[in-house]
Amino acid sequence: MSCLWDTRLLVGVSTVGLSLTALWWWRSQKGSIANIKLTYLDIKGIAEPIRLTFAVGGIDFDDHRVSYKHVSQMRTTGTLPYGQVPILQVGDQIYSQSTAILRWAGIKAGLYPFECQPLIDGVEECLADIKKFLIPQWYKNALARSPVTGDLFTGTTLSAEQQHAVLNALNDVILPEKFAQLERVLQRSGGSYFCGEKMSICDLSFYSLASGILLGDYCDGLDPATLADCPRLLELTKTVANHPRVAAWNTTVQLR
C-alpha cells in the first residue's frame, strides 16, 4: 500500500510540475500586449532594468517620465497603489512595485525563465539589499521619503560626520563584500551571465547598478574601485552594454 501511495504521490508531483511549467510557458508568450505604459522619474533609478527588459525583449511601451511634482500630484489623487513610482499601466489596470513589474516584464520578454527563477531571484534580492544600504547615501537621511508626502523626515537627517561614516562603510566594506558575493555566484554559473549563457533580468538589474557606479551617476560618492576585484562582474557589465538592443536603447535615451 505504501508503495502504491508513493507512486501516486510521485505521479501527482510530476503532474503538478508539468502543469506549472506549462503555465509559465503560456504566461511567457508575448502575444498581443496593448497599451503598456511605464511611469517613473526622468532618471535611470530603479526603473531602468524594467525599461531595458522591454527593450531587449522587443516589447513596445510608453516610457512616461515625470517630475517629482507630478509624482506628488499622483500620490494625492490616489493614482499610486503604494504611494510611489514606478507604476505600470496595462490597458486599464495599474500595477506597482519595481520588482513585481520587472518580473512581469521578464516573463513577457523571455528573460525570466522558470528553471532559473531561484537563481535570478537570489541575485535580485542581493541587489535589493545593496539598494537598502544605499538609502542613507541617497537621501543623506536615515530613512527614505515619507509614503504620505514624499518629503524627507527632518528629524532623521544625517549630520556631516554621519554622512562621512556612511560613505566610508559603503566604499570600504559593504559594496566590496556584496560584489564579491555576486562575483562568486557568476563564477559558479560557468557562463557569461548569472544563468550561464542566457541573459536574464538579473543581468540587466546588475548592469544598471554597476554601470551607474562606474560612470558615477548612480549614487553620489560611490567609488568605482569597489568593483575592481571582480573581473567577471566587470566583463558582464561590458557584455550587457554591448548587447545590440541595450546599446540601441542607451543611444536613443542619450539623444532625447
Residue type, 21: T
Quote the pLDDT of residue 1. Answer: 32
Quote the pLDDT of residue 8. Answer: 40
The dihedral region occupied by 87, where left means phi > 0, alpha psi between -120 and 50, and beta the remainder, is beta
Helix (H, G, I), strand (E, B) or coil at 83: coil
| pLDDT by residue, tens only, the chain of 256 residues | 333 334 343 344 444 444 455 445 445 555 556 689 999 999 999 999 999 999 999 999 999 999 999 999 999 999 999 999 999 999 999 999 999 999 999 999 999 999 999 999 999 999 999 999 999 999 999 999 998 889 999 999 999 999 999 999 999 999 999 999 999 999 999 999 999 999 999 999 999 999 999 999 999 999 999 999 999 999 999 999 999 999 999 998 876 6
Q: How many residues does the chain have?
A: 256
pTM score over 0.85: yes
Cell numbers representing residue 251 in the block: 543611444
Cα–Cα distances (Å) from 104 to 41, 116, 119, 164, in that order, read 20, 15, 17, 38
At 63, which helix (H) or strand (E)?
strand 62-66
Q: What is the secondary structure of 83-148 as a DSSP string?
A: SSS-EEEETTEEEE-HHHHHHHHHHHHT-S-GGGHHHHHHHHHHHHHHHHHHHHHHHSBSS---TT
Nearest partner of 197 among 128, 131, 133, 113, judged by Cα: 113
Nearest partner of 246 among 213, 211, 217, 220, judged by Cα: 211
Cell numbers representing residue 240 in the block: 550587457
Which residue has 513610482 as its cell numbers? 85
Residue 169 near residue 178, CB atoms below 8 Å: no
At 77, which helix (H) or strand (E)?
none
| C-alpha to C-alpha distance for 153 and 88, rounded to whole angstroms | 28
